[in-house]
Structure formats: structure tokens, C-alpha cells
Structure 1
Amino acid sequence: MSPTFLPWLALIFAGLFEVAWALALKASDGFSKPIPSITFGITATISMVLLAYAMKHLPAGTAYAIWTGIGAVGTVVLGIVWFGDPANLLRVASICLILAGIVGLKLA
């Protein structure tokens, strides 16, 4: 595996852990439930550590935008699936625009 690939891999996992902490935060019910609250703390820490590593090697704006994009798309999609959040045409189109931005930043 190429060393230049590792920051991108770390960034992808940082984004996935962002999804995990966002969903754990929702499930914690305002930090009133211990297991989701602990899960939030662990996954948020892992996400930040991986993001920090990625930002050492990638442009800050690109890394941060991709991290938040992965987190936003993943959280919206899983919110629809697990929490019954609305899934209308405008929300789905907006998710597609975020994905296009993520791909564009990676290719730029």
C-alpha cells in the first residue's frame, strides 16, 4: 500500500467514525443513556485522531470538507434508515450534491 494512500484511508475512516459519533449522540438522548454516551466519546476521539493524521498530509480545506461530507451523507442516510428521518426528493438530491462535491475535491 502506497504511503500517499494512507492519509486518504485515514480520512475515509475518520468520516465513518464521524457518522458513528453523530448517531451515538442522537441515541444518547442528551447524554442520558450511558452506552450511547460512551460510544459517542470513543468514536468522536477516534474520528478526530484520524482526521488530525490526514490533515498532516492533505490540504486542510480538502480534508475537512471531505470529512464533514462523509459524515453528513452517512448520518442523513442512516438517520433515514434507523430513525425514520424524512426521505424526500430534495433531501436525496442534496445528498447527491454533497457526494459530487466530495468526489470533486478528491479529484482536484
Structure 2
Amino acid sequence: MAWVLLVVAGLLEIVWALALKQARGFARLGPALLGITTAVVSFVMLSAALKSLPVGTAYAVWVGIGAAGVALAGILVLGESASPARLGCVALILAGVIGLKLLER
């Protein structure tokens, strides 16, 4: 169950980062509130997952899901660069997340 909480928390990190981008420095209330709300829920879920997962692994997986997800969303939704080097870096992040999960005890 801790891993499910952690993955969902990481996915919510993607949502709040994109919402804050759309909030334009808190100038738009709806996206700002969505960003703040999903950030709080993400932190709560991370905290719950930390009850049974090692902090180093859990935090790295949470950040990795968020970082890779936001980078891919930026490419797919916001038209950001999809250069081979950038995609390779995202693949390295995902490989690290998968590796940490496989090596977790």
C-alpha cells in the first residue's frame, strides 16, 4: 500500500507543478488553488508512505516521478523541446526510479 501511496503522490506532484505554471504567479486563482491543494495532498500521501518505506528511496522516487512526469508533460502539452538529449535524461530519471524500487528492502 505504501508504494501505491507513493506513486499517486508522485503523480500529484505533476498536477501541482502544471497547475502552478498555469496560475501565472498566482494571478489566476483556479489553477493556483488546484496547485496548492494537490501539493498538500501529495505531501500527505508521501508522509503516509514514509511510515513504512526508507526515506531516501521514497523521496527519490517521489521526486523522480514528478520530475520525469513534468518534463514529459512539458514536451507533450506545452510544446517544450523533445531533443534526444532531453529525452535521454528523462529516461535516466525513470531508470533510477525503477532501480530504487527493485533494490528496496
TM range (shorter): over 0.9
Q: Which residue of 2 aligns with 1:33?
A: 28
The residue identity in structure 1 corresponding to 2:91 is: C
1:43-54 equivalences under 5 Å are: 43-54=38-49
| Aligned-CA RMSD value | 0.5
Identity %: 48
- TM-score, normalised to structure 1, is 0.94
Return structure 1 stretches of 4+ with deviation > 2 angstroms.
none
State the distance in 2 between where 1:56 and 1:91 align: 34
For residues 56 and 84 of structure 2, the distance between their equivalents in structure 1, rounded to whole angstroms, comes to: 29
Give the structure-2-normalised TM-score.
0.96
Cα deviation digits, residues 1-60 of structure 1 (max 9, x gap): xxxxx0000000000000000000111000100110010111001100000001111000
Which residue identity does 1:60 align to in structure 2? V
The residue that corresponds to 1:23 in the other structure is 18
Q: Distance in 2 between matches of 1:28 and 1:12?
A: 25
1:3 paired residue number? none
Tell me what 2:58 maps to.
63
Cα shift at 1:82: 1.4
Alignment match, 2:96: 101
CA deviations 1:64-102 (Å, max 9, x no partner) are: 000000000110011111111111000000011011100
Residue 43 of structure 2 aligns to a residue whose secondary structure is helix
CA distance in 2 between partners of 1:39 and 1:80 (Å): 21
Cα distance in 2 for residues equivalent to 1:28 and 1:84: 18
Equivalent of 1:74, from 69, 73, 79?
69
